Amino acid sequence: MNISQLETLITISKTMSFRKAGELLNLTQPAVSAQIKSLEEEFKTQLVDRNQPVTLTDRGKVFLEHAEQIVGIVDEMKQRLADLEENPQGHIILGTTTSIAIQILPRILSYFQDQFPHIKTSISSMSSSQIYQHVENGLVDVGIGYLIGRNPGMTTSTLYYDTFELVVSPRHPLAHVKTAGIEALGKTPLILLSPDTVGRKFVDEVLAKHGIHPQVIMELTSSEEVKRMVELDLGAAVISKQSVNSEVRAGTLKIVPIMELEVTHPVGVITKSGKYVNSAMRQFLSDLKGMPETQFIGSE
């Protein structure tokens, strides 16, 4: 048995195909079949059901659990050895919201990549609640999102504070008022984020507290989508103030202050407690936490 065979089995479990596994591993389909056959002969059991789609047998699933642990240990060992080098290196997988990925990460990563060119970063966009799940499951190394209460097994650090604001297009009737009452949220069509997002949950709580039944005409998965719809004057929205800074400066969106929405929400770094932190992550986290808040919120 060798690590390559284990990696092949793991890839087959994900792709459910010998051909696709071969493409990802840069192996021919016969080579993939030979590796699995060799494993099955060594352990004297059938690991893979070769009917389409390809799946693991019950014994294959048990084998997979141990294979993933072994490959994980080997990867960590390689990283620990690499960490003995003078220059930080490695791969960081970041999980963050779409608005943070667009508005904040570019200037952070630009500086970081200039200083540490041997560190590779990958970014996956998702909701803040999904960030916690992906960090816990090891699918992302570092999460950057809204900090949601206390989560056992997670380590968090606040980077800056954001608020959620009512935004409209310059053509909207509310665009010309200095402030609005909370009742305005029940009188205008709203374009809101999906129910699993922090922003939407906050809005729902505020509306319920004041007994307001909103006219929700559209639900979208990201702030970027919401902004485009509001710019077309299809409705008003309550979204992150940080995410609309550039549009407000450009005059394509206007913020309508509502006192009841003026609640600050911490945005920060989320990592899994007890997880080995390689040199790449240590350097990235150190730089990230050492940046002043103005680096994130920018200028109004």
pLDDT digits 0-9 by tens, 26-63? 999 999 999 999 999 999 999 999 888 899 999 999 99
Q: Over 60: is that where the pLDDT of 299 sits? A: no
CA 217 – CA 189 distance, rounded (Å):
6
99: closest CA among 236, 247, 285?
A: 247
Write the burial class of residue 55 (CB in 10 Å: 0-12 exposed, 13-18 middle, 19+ buried).
Answer: middle
Q: Cβ(79)–Cβ(278) under 8 Å? A: yes
DSSP structural state of residue 175: G
Q: Which residues contact 285 (CB under 8 A, 6 or more apart)?
A: 142, 269, 271, 277
Lowest mean pLDDT among 1-15, 36-50, 69-83, 159-173: 69-83
Cα 43 from Cα 61, distance rounded (Å): 14
Cis peptide leading into 53, omega within 30 of 0? yes
Non-local CB neighbours of 202 within 8 Å, separated by 6+ positions: 164, 263, 265
Rg (CA), the chain: 24
Question: pTM higher than 0.75 for the full model?
Answer: no
pLDDT at 231: 96
Mean pLDDT in residue range 94-118: 80
Query: Which tokens sit at 176?
Result: 């010309």
Q: CB-based contacts of 248: which residues, under 8 Å, 6+ apart? A: 167, 254, 255, 300
Per-residue pLDDT tens over the stretch 221-270? 888 899 999 999 999 999 989 889 889 999 999 999 999 998 888 988 99
Average pLDDT over residues 180-191: 93
pLDDT at position 88 over 70: no
Average pLDDT over residues 71-97: 77
